[in-house]
Structure 1
């Protein structure tokens, strides 16, 4: 009997040690961690056939240093975009990047020189002042929470941004507003023991998400639609561990929901 109790206590201590390590990893991944930022381009309607804008780079400032606190955001496809392709709620993804959680204060949009406007089927170059090519600063005050996915829109007003100067000449003086929005919430937690080699499914109606936990059992679903989700912890059939599920997990937009640690048994 004493031997069995000793073995049981030893097993409990081992599980607690693993859970403690996983919780530490969990804490590091949320406190002072990163947020996912999607940068999107959209447009208010304009009375032109096309408005082509040459977007070369974007920089973000998440510090109080307006001179040196800039971080480059790698664009998926730098180059020319027709603003009128993104009217009436349509947008396009410019970049998707992980950045330190915190406050974004400014965005700098760097334009190239290959800008033009099409009027009645005729293309005209858009004169772009050098100050705009070196970086057009846009003010934005957004707080980003670690583990949450955010969308940030650069919303051009094509009609106001193109200025006719006469004699078939046009200037580009961008009129832009920026705004951000949290995209769903985040579900995260830990499934033990690692030997179970579990995968995690989150299901809400016809929506199914999958996650493969880390070596210590940590998993995360980001950009999850707000609502009630069911989690299924499916062990590798060769390990002998039993599956488990947790129902009615509430997800809120802009909130990180941490599910209590799940320990599978044989």
Structure 2
């Protein structure tokens, strides 16, 4: 499995200077795809990633899809939290223009490990054929490098069928880092280990992004769209929940919105 810690890589729009030479860089943009996760109540969720494709046309059927240079393999989504991501497309030239969708094509070896340690097959009804499609609708400009974040919401995506079997019906949001920022902070005491939820409040039906604190109490919410948020901390008993209002996120991945130390009480 392939995971990296998040570094301030200046992932907003940059002048594009390298990557693969599949297309002439003089009329190309750069594209990178990162996979992260909003966690669920399981020990492991392994997906068998085979392809990442983009659709830059309105064409129906398969002719509109183009392969990216994917790092294929099995990925445990539950490891992709608190600033850890998987660079499933590390970076390449791509013709400038509008991207309509990104598609993940999965193989047959997808599994779910439950809290009791039992591992079961994770059925993907359409993943091996039509793929898991995510709407992007982003214009790629010549000479600009784009990093797209695919945020896989495990809690909503894994569906129990009631007979001991589970389906994967993915809920994935896709945003370019050029339009996003990050929220970071630390929660004490460690025993509280809260779920951290950023709920956008400046528009109706805004995004919700969530994670959990790590072993040091730290948390990082990556790829958060620019806007105003209420950040909620849902703590384990006997600690009380708390929240921060009017948290502003700006498009700057190297200077995140830092909430500092949040102390939860019993």
**TM-score, reference length from structure 1:** 0.54
Structure 2 residue 191 is the aligned partner of structure 1 residue 164: no
Correspondence list, 1:1-266, <5 A:
30=26, 33-67=27-61, 68-76=63-71, 78-95=72-89, 96-119=91-114, 120-129=116-125, 131-134=126-129, 135-182=131-178
Aligned length: 155
Residues 59, 71 of structure 1: 8 Å contact kept: yes
Call closer, same or farther: CA 1:90–1:66 in 2, change over 3 Å.
farther
Shift of 1:179: 1.0
Call closer, same or farther: CA 1:41–1:118 in 2, change over 3 Å.
same
* Deviation beyond 2 Å, 4+ runs, structure 1: none
**TM-score, reference length from structure 2:** 0.54
Shift of 1:163: 1.0
Structure with greater Cα Rg: 1
Shift of 1:66: 3.6
Residues 29, 95 of structure 2: 8 Å contact kept: yes
How far apart, in 2, do the equivalents of 1:45 and 1:73 lie?
26
Q: CA RMSD in A?
A: 2.3
> 3-state SS of the aligned residue for 1:133?
coil
Q: Return 5+ residue gaps in structure 1 as ranges.
A: 1-27, 184-251, 254-266
Structure 1 or 2: more helix by fraction: 1
Shift of 1:90: 2.3
Cα shift readout 1:32-90 (whole Å, capped 9, x = no counterpart): x11110111010011100100111101101123243221111212x1210001101342
Residues 34, 147 of structure 1: 8 Å contact kept: yes
Call closer, same or farther: CA 1:83–1:29 in 2, change over 3 Å.
closer
Shift of 1:29: 5.6
Call closer, same or farther: CA 1:29–1:49 in 2, change over 3 Å.
closer
Higher RCO (CA < 8 A, seq sep 6+): 2
Residues 62, 102 of structure 1: 8 Å contact kept: yes
How far apart, in 1, do the equivalents of 2:103 and 2:60 lie?
11
